[in-house]
Structures are given as structure tokens and as C-alpha cells.
Amino acid sequence: MEFDVVIIGGGLVGASLALALKDSGLKIALVESRPPSPLPRNNSWDSRIYAISPGSASFLQNFGVWQVLDEARLTPVYKMAVFGDDSAARLDFSAYDIGLTELAFIVENRQLQAAVWNALKRQKKKIKIFCPAECASITWNESHAELRLGDGSVLRAALIVGADGLNSWVRAQAEIKVMRRSYQELGVVANFDAEHHHRNVAHQWFRRDGVLALLPLPDTLVSMVWSTNEQHARTLLDLPETELCHRVAKASCHTLGKLRLVTQPAAFPLNFVHVNKLVQPRLALIGDAAHGIHPLAGQGVNLGLRDARELAATIIARGLQSDCGDYLLLRRYERSRKEDILAMELVTNGLQKLFHNTNPTLVRLRNLGLEITNRLPLIKDQLIQHALN
Ligand SMILES: Cc1cc2nc3c(=O)[nH]c(=O)nc-3n(C[C@H](O)[C@H](O)[C@H](O)COP(=O)(O)OP(=O)(O)OC[C@H]3O[C@@H](n4cnc5c(N)ncnc54)[C@H](O)[C@@H]3O)c2cc1C
């Protein structure tokens, strides 16, 4: 079977690229190993959530995904309040101060995946979906690449896109080097019903035992992401329900009052992955296949959607006669993404290291740093503008 672009991995990033290319006139295929799980009938809340930036929301709107999300489950974030481990140290960001209506939207993973896959299914004529499908091998030739699936079928394409996540199989097939480091932390997630309304503020505490975020969901619900060392994470997971609520309320300085658990806690390993190159002839990497960052800035999927947006724009702008797997064209995509990715890697790594250090001088300095940044509108503006894209 002949295609122009074969995207491997139908997570949010890979599926969004397929949709962004649907009107490009190119023959697109999407290969996904696992079909997305159906939405639960009981309307229960997903504890895997994303803080989607306004830039990502407008990208998803371009191909009909954002506007079909259930508004009753979407929560705008008007303010962010970040606290140091000295409760007096605080950094605030407000959408109002920069002339916007919101800084981000909190969306459940399940809802977003379902919306993206429903949109894909409506584009059956333009996007050929192979799911569930297992990839067996790729051969790289000068004029095309050939993907062989487990069932023996062969997909020929001018360009293969690796969107298959942190442990990318495509990246390994292309023998692209990665620098990988476990943060030796787990991200513990759970949803709570809080005594006090969050007022659409995303709260975050940089504590000695990790970074705790309570993100607003509709009404008085909040979603927790507590990135913490593996031992502490396992302790949290094993706590009886009331004890866990008490522990989280205490760690968040009782800002939202008493908490009641509404979803069972779950944990995800956290890894830093730096990829040496995003492209080679006939190949481009996007999303977590191209970079793995700490979730403390809530930017992983936003960074990946910016890759998809940029790669789609580069391919569409190439001119009808040109080859979409051409190395020089793909280098243009790589150059345009390097700065954003590097900046996000540096910021998330730097903050993670800084707040894990127990040296008393550093502890005082980092709290002071938060306070000083809070009083410098120019620096605050630059930090926030990056996260809005
Ligand atoms: C605890 C935690 C909290 C987070 N919070 C946020 C947040 O608030 N905001 C944010 O922006 N980001 C957040 N992130 C990061 C975010 O989850 C990831 O950056 C994002 O899911 C990456 O999307 P992706 O599509 O690139 O990869 P994935 O979501 O990993 O999707 C990859 C897809 O490829 C498929 N696949 C894998 N291998 C193959 C193969 N060989 N063949 C075919 N298909 C294959 C998989 O089945 C999957 O569907 C968080 C991460 C964690 C761990």
C-alpha cells in the first residue's frame, strides 16, 4: 500500500498530526497498536488530566476536536499560585494581568482521546487507520521507507513519523541516540472533592518531598499530580482513603479545606529523555518520542502538539511538487522546534533539581527567587507567554 505519510502512534500528538494533514491532499496512514478505551458509561472522572494551553486548544479547534468537548467537563484556569517550601514564598500568574480570559484549560485524558478518535473516524476517506496493528520492521530507502506490519502487510511512504511515545520503537529502528534518565519519581494522580471552591486557580507547591499540584475541575473537584520519590509515592498509594485525604490537605496547607477522594490514586514513572535529532531522511519524530520532560510544568502534551502543528505546517508549505520526506525539508521542522524543546527541558530539569536540593542556603535562595520573580512583571510575562503557545 502506498502513502505519502505514515504516522506510527495514535496518541494525542500522532492523531492530531493526522488530522492537521487531512486536507493537505496527501495520502495519510495512522498505525496504532492499542485502540483507545471507550468512555465509561457512569460519567466517572478520569484522574489523568492535561493542562491544555490556549495555543494547543486553538490547534485542536482547527480540525474540529476542541469544539466537540463537553463544556461541562472543561475547566478554565484563571490564575496560578505557586508556593515554595517556605509558605511565605509565592509566585502568582493571572490571565487578567496579561489581558487573557484564561491561562489554560484542564481536560481529562479520556475525553480528549475520545474526541480526537471520533474526529479520525469521520475522516476515513482521507486517513487510513491501522488499529490494532503491530509494527514488525522498517526499511529505509533513498526514495521511500517501508513499514512491515505483524500481519505481513507492507506500507510504503515518503515519510514515516514516529509519534509512539517515550519508549519509541520507531526511534530505535532509526538508531537515533537518546539520553535517558529516570527522575526516580512517580507522578501520583487522584481526584478529590474539596471543601472550598478552587476559584479556577491552579495551585502548586514545590515541597521537599516533591511537587504537588491541585488543578481545578468543575465545581469543587480538583485533580492532584504529586511528583514524588518512589518510596513516598508508594506510601501514598498504600494509605487508607481518609489518611491520604488528610495527607494531601496538610501538604497543600489546607488551602482548599478538607478533601474527599473521588478516584482511586494511580502512579506513573517519570523519565527525562533527550533525543539527539528529531529527523533523518524519511523520518520525523514528534511528541514524547522526540522529548520526555518532567510534568511539573504541565507542558508535555502541549510541547508535542506544537511539534505536530509545526511539522504539518512545514509539510503543507513545501509546495505540491516536493517530496514530504526530503531531508532538507525535515531539517526545517527540526530547526524550528529545537529552541522550544531545549527551553522546556532546561526549565523543567532545572526546577526539579533546584527543589530537590536540601542545602539550607539553596532553600533560602530558591524561596527568595520565587518572591523576586513575583515582583518582576517582565520576567513573569516571559515565563507565561512561553506556556501559552
Ligand atoms: C503524571 C503525568 C502527568 C502529566 N500531566 C501533563 C499535563 O498536565 N499537561 C501536559 O501537557 N502533559 C502532561 N503529561 C505529559 C503527557 O502525558 C505526554 O507528554 C503525552 O501523553 C505525550 O503524548 P504522545 O501522543 O506523544 O505519546 P503517548 O501518549 O505515549 O502516545 C503514544 C501512542 O503510540 C502508541 N504506540 C506505542 N508504540 C507503538 C508501536 N510500536 N506501534 C503502534 N503504536 C504504538 C501507544 O499505544 C500510544 O497510543 C503528564 C505526564 C505524566 C506521566
Atom of ligand 1 nearest to the CA of 170: 41
Q: What is the pLDDT of residues 119-168, one digit of tens each?
A: 999 999 999 999 999 999 999 999 999 999 999 999 999 999 999 999 99
Q: Is the pLDDT of residue 87 over 70?
A: no
Q: Is the pLDDT of residue 75 over 90?
A: yes
Q: How far apart are CA 140 and CA 250, in angstroms?
A: 55
Residues 191, 42 contacting (CB under 8 angstroms): no
Q: How far apart are CA 128 and CA 142, in angstroms?
A: 24
Task: Find the helix packing angle between 54-62 and 12-20, rounded to 10°.
Answer: 50
Residues 115, 52 contacting (CB under 8 angstroms): no
What's the 106 CA to ligand 1 centre distance in angstroms? 16
In this prediction, residues 347-362 reach a mean pLDDT of 72
Cell numbers for 91, please give them: 509566585
Domain 66-109+183-271+357-388 fold is: D-Amino Acid Oxidase; Chain A, domain 2 (3.30.9)
pTM for the structure as a whole: 0.93
What's the 11 CA to ligand 1 centre distance in angstroms? 6
Atom of ligand 1 nearest to the CA of 299: 11
| Domain 2-46+110-180+272-352 class, CATH top level | alpha beta
**Average pLDDT, rounded, for the chain:** 92
Ligand 1 pocket residues where CB is under 6 Å? 8-14, 31-34, 50-51, 135, 163-165, 169, 187, 189, 225, 268, 287-288, 295, 298-302, 304
Comma-separated ranges of CATH 3.30.9.10 domains in the chain: 66-109+183-271+357-388
The closest residue, in CA terms, to atom 12 on ligand 1 is: 300
Q: Is the dihedral of CA 371, 387, 61, 115 positive or negative?
A: negative
The DSSP element (H or E) to which 313 belongs, if any, is helix 300-316
Of how many residues is the chain composed?
389
